[in-house]
């Protein structure tokens, strides 16, 4: 238990839109057929996420140092990919959180106004430096959400739900809409590959915090608990959507508040009305913690990236640089939310698709970091893991090209 830490932070960041929204939609629209996609996505992306704790526990530095080893171009590429995606990623996560908050409180406000309230509250927490309190609470809530998800799936499996063959549809690569949804599902399943860098930053911070130092073995064990735990929960959400919604003739709403209402209704339909407060609190806290984690992680990771590229030999006020990036992130996210907050589904699909298209580049950078000549040979990934990495890079690259060809040509 003492070894667990950054892996649970990873789980807290990953269990959000990809699980509550995308996995549930996958089951609701296509039944259990896409369960294999969740398994394959976790297998293919595994070595690229594992690179974060491996690199940090061995070198005592974040993956950004591994990027620096490859040349300034690698850091610049990471900086470009992060800045070009962070606003829409933050907006997509925030609008889901806002939808759940509206559903729980019953307070009717425009989606962008609710989103603005969520971002303001998160910023207030970060400026006060109280994130550690929520972090500890988040670990408890994730356990509660995991238990309730498993109970809901078991209850749904033993209950009677709609299974009307005439209303069911099968997944087909020949249908563009199905392919586009598959890309969106894989994009954030289990999470954007950027989180590998965040994980390495968390691992370094943990080792510097005075706690017991993470050995490579402990860091990887911590990572696996969080990583495969998110896989189990993703499967749970998909199965819940499959058993409760698929074949009923219903469609999950595209609006944030309406979707949140349907999500909570699915749980209460399986567990009973008594579970509403528990499910609502768990769902909101999970999404709020994800929103907060992202709002903190982007400035926290961009700050050392900026320093390595632009201010390597200069003294920089870390707090002031962090605050400036944070304010810019909130402003850019709000600009997107003002225009697109009412279409939660479209916003989420856009964010997850962008993450999918940037995945091959980030996967390659992570692989090159842990196989670099500066990285100790004895601590590099095994031959099997390297082969899986190369297969994953090839798969993500070819699938991205195929998607672009279908989408634009």
Residue where the block lists tokens 């954007």: 192
Residue 409: count other Cβ atoms within 10 Å of its Cβ.
5
| pLDDT at residue 211, as a whole number | 58
Tokens found for residue 31: 């039944």
Q: How far apart are CA 195 and CA 174, in angstroms?
A: 32
Residue 287 in contact with residue 93, Cβ under 8 Å?
A: yes
Tokens found for residue 213: 């130092």
| pLDDT at residue 222, as a whole number | 87
Residue 118 in contact with residue 97, Cβ under 8 Å?
A: yes
Length of the chain, please? 409
Tokens found for residue 175: 């249908």
pTM, 2 dp = 0.85
| pLDDT at residue 255, as a whole number | 64
Q: How far apart are CA 198 and CA 297, in angstroms?
A: 7
Q: Domain boundaries in the chain?
A: 6-408
Q: Which CATH number fits domain 6-408: 1.20.1740.10, 1.10.3080.10, 3.40.228.10, 1.10.274.10?
A: 1.20.1740.10
Residue 196 in contact with residue 366, Cβ under 8 Å?
A: yes
| pLDDT at residue 46, as a whole number | 96
Q: What angle do CA 355, 60, 388 make, to 5 degrees?
A: 45
Q: At what angle do helices 131-158 and 111-128 cross, to 10 degrees?
A: 130
From first to last of its 409 residues, the chain has per-residue pLDDT tens of 566 677 777 887 788 777 877 888 888 888 888 999 999 999 999 999 999 999 999 998 999 999 999 998 999 989 988 888 889 889 888 988 888 888 888 888 888 899 999 999 988 888 776 556 656 666 677 777 778 878 888 877 776 654 544 445 678 888 888 888 888 888 888 888 989 998 898 888 776 665 566 688 888 998 998 899 889 989 988 988 888 777 666 666 766 667 777 778 877 777 778 778 877 877 787 788 788 888 988 998 898 888 888 877 677 777 888 888 999 999 999 998 888 766 766 777 777 788 888 899 999 999 999 999 999 999 999 999 999 999 999 999 998 898 888 878 7
Residue 77 in contact with residue 361, Cβ under 8 Å?
A: yes
pLDDT tens for each residue of 70-115: 998 999 989 988 888 889 889 888 988 888 888 888 888 888 899 9
| pLDDT at residue 33, as a whole number | 87
**Cα dihedral 187/191/196/199 (nearest 10):** 170
| pLDDT at residue 166, as a whole number | 40
| pLDDT at residue 130, as a whole number | 59
Residue 325, Cα to own-chain centre: how many angstroms?
20
Residue where the block lists tokens 């392919």: 179
């Amino acid at each position: 238990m003492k070894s667990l830490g950054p892996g649970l932070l990873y789980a807290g960041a990953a269990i959000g839109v990809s699980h509550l929204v995308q996995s549930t939609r996958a089951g609701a629209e296509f039944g259990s057929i896409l369960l294999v996609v969740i398994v394959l996505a976790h297998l293919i992306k595994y070595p690229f996420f594992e690179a974060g704790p491996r690199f940090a526990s061995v070198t005592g530095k974040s993956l950004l140092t591994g990027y620096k080893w490859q040349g300034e171009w690698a850091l610049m590429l990471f900086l470009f990919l992060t800045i070009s995606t962070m606003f829409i990623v933050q907006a997509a996560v925030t609008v889901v959180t806002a939808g759940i908050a509206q559903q729980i409180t019953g307070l009717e406000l425009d989606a962008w106004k609710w989103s603005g309230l969520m971002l303001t509250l998160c910023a207030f927490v970060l400026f006060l430096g109280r994130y550690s309190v929520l972090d500890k609470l988040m670990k408890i809530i994730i356990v509660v959400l995991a238990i309730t998800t498993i109970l809901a799936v078991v209850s749904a499996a033993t209950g009677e739900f709609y299974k009307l063959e005439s209303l069911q549809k099968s997944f087909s690569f020949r249908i563009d809409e199905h392919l586009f949804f598959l890309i969106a599902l894989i994009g954030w399943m289990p999470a954007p590959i950027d989180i590998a860098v965040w994980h390495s930053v968390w691992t370094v911070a943990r080792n510097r915090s005075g706690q017991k130092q993470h050995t490579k073995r402990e860091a990887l064990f911590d990572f696996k608990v969080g990583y495969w735990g998110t896989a189990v929960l993703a499967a749970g959400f998909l199965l819940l959507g499959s058993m409760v919604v698929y074949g009923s003739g219903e469609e999950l709403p595209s609006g944030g508040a309406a979707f949140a209402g349907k999500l909570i209704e699915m749980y209460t339909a399986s567990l009973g009305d008594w579970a509403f407060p528990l499910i609502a609190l768990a769902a909101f806290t999970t999404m709020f913690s994800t929103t907060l984690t992202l709002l903190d992680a982007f400035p926290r990771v961009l700050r050392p990236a900026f320093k390595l590229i632009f201010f390597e030999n200069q003294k920089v006020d870390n707090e002031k640089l962090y605050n400036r990036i944070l304010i810019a992130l909130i402003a850019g996210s709000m600009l997107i939310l003002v225009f697109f907050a009412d279409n939660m589904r479209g916003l989420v699909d856009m964010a997850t698709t962008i993450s999918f298209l940037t995945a091959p580049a980030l996967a390659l950078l992570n692989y090159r970091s842990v196989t670099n000549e500066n990285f100790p040979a004895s601590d590099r990934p095994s031959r099997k893991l390297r082969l899986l990495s190369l297969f994953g890079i090839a798969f993500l690259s070819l699938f991205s090209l195929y998607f672009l060809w279908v989408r634009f040509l």
